[in-house]
Amino acid sequence: MRAGPTKGDHQVSDEEYRLVPLAALRLDPENPRLSREQDWSSRPEREVLLEFYRRYNLIELAYSIADKGFTPRHAEALLAISSTDGPDRYIVVEGNRRLATLLLLTKADYRRHVRAKGPWDELAKLAASKDLDPVPVVLYDSREALSDYLGFRHITGPTPWRPEAKARFIARLLGTGETIAEVARRIGSNHRTVRRLVEAHAVYSQALENGVSMDQVEAAFGLFYNALDQSGIRKFLGLGKQSEIQDLPEAPIPTDGLDSLRQLINLLYGDEDGSLEKVIKESRDLKMLGEVLADDRGQRNLLMDRDLDRAWRIIGGGRKELLTLLESAYSRLAEANGQAKEYRHDEDIQKEVQRVCALTEEMRTRFGLDQD
């Protein structure tokens, strides 16, 4: 029986649908969702399972599987490749959260190992009445044969990975020798998105190699990824032109920029021990942070007292926005004045004109302007 994920009318690869014993399936140590702090390929599977349990909320899946079972429909099939552990052993490349949940529901020793709390034992009893073994699986010839499907599904498709997992997946494709253009076509994305993700991955990897703590970045990678898109922050780190990235970058930050990277992480996330708060309140503050870091005076003040609003005001932040507002207000008032003649005796119109006059008088005083 042949079946498998498709991308439009294009069949991704030759696949084979089977029912496979649960004991023959392994979690994927190369899954982009796993923390990169460990070499998971050298860790026991129970440790990989523990990582999935810690990092992802599996209980909702457990409720669903315990209630409805894991019916052998193609839509729910796990996607796997052959394992080097031995014949008839498989690594699940797509569906690791579902496999982890199945393992916890069917193996009491696994639940004890991860110290599963809450209703896990009760759900396991309920799941025992369901047919959870064997498991519907679609087998692929190789990990590469799955790349198109995974890229489409988890980067531009219906179930997106977190930015860090997206970046790691794209870096893996580029590491095989593919170009930015080829990867963009493969995953159905644009060149700019691919460049942004692979650059963020390269900066992250460079930081780890140089002993920069990245635990906080991994937990909230999206903020870091968006920060690297701000021109002022790029200047602060010494990053080159993003548009010139054609393959997997190596050490994109100059050696003398690594201290700046440490400072940026500290500004974005605060100290790991909580002694210093982060300086931004929300992602919209990234533009302001970039403008401050690009200005020598603003940068000095920010690094000294960690007050982003004050540093922004010091460099004249908001001036352009204020000018734009005033120009817009003048245009709207000029338009209103042109229509005023026919309503000059209308009491409601007169009331609004009085409010405008009072406000302009207040602004005249605030800006120290003479009556003339």
Residues 171-201 pLDDT 10s: 888 887 888 888 888 777 889 998 999 999 8
- Judgement on whether residues 123 and 208 belong to the same structural domain of the protein: no
278-331 residue pLDDT tens: 998 888 899 999 999 999 999 999 999 999 999 998 888 877 778 888 899 989
- Judgement on whether residues 26 and 136 belong to the same structural domain of the protein: yes
Return the amino acid letter for 65. I
- Judgement on whether residues 263 and 310 belong to the same structural domain of the protein: yes
- Judgement on whether residues 272 and 351 belong to the same structural domain of the protein: no
Instruction: Provide the β-strand partners of residue 139.
Output: 16, 80
- Judgement on whether residues 213 and 298 belong to the same structural domain of the protein: yes
**Distance from CA of residue 98 to its chain's centroid?**
21
Dist CA 359 CA 365 (whole Å): 10
Query: Domain ends where: 275, 296, 314?
Result: 314
Rg, C-alpha atoms of the chain: 28
| Tokens 């909320």, residue located | 57
Question: Is the pLDDT confidence value at 366 over 60?
Answer: yes
The structural domain count of the chain equals 3
**Distance from CA of residue 331 to its chain's centroid?**
41
Instruction: Tell which residue, 218, 224, 177, has the closest CA to residue 196.
Output: 224
* Exposure class string for 25-38: b at 16+ Cβ within 10 A, else e: bbbbbebbbbebee
Query: Sign of torsion, CA 118 124 130 134?
Result: positive
Average pLDDT over residues 347-351: 89
- Judgement on whether residues 195 and 292 belong to the same structural domain of the protein: yes
- Judgement on whether residues 30 and 130 belong to the same structural domain of the protein: yes
- Judgement on whether residues 99 and 166 belong to the same structural domain of the protein: no
Dist CA 26 CA 284 (whole Å): 42
Q: Domain residues for 251?
A: 162-314
- Judgement on whether residues 47 and 170 belong to the same structural domain of the protein: no
- Judgement on whether residues 304 and 330 belong to the same structural domain of the protein: no
Residue 183 placed within a domain: yes
- Judgement on whether residues 308 and 330 belong to the same structural domain of the protein: no
Cis bond leading into 134, ω under 30°? yes
Dist CA 134 CA 340 (whole Å): 80
Which residues touch 133 (CB under 8 Å, ≥6 apart)? 21, 22, 106
- Judgement on whether residues 30 and 51 belong to the same structural domain of the protein: yes
Residue 148 placed within a domain: no
What's the predicted TM-score (pTM) here? Answer: 0.61
Highest mean pLDDT among 151-165, 281-295, 331-345: 281-295
Indicate the range of 33-42, 86-95, 200-209, 363-372 predicted with least confidence: 33-42
Question: Is the pLDDT confidence value at 12 over 60?
Answer: no
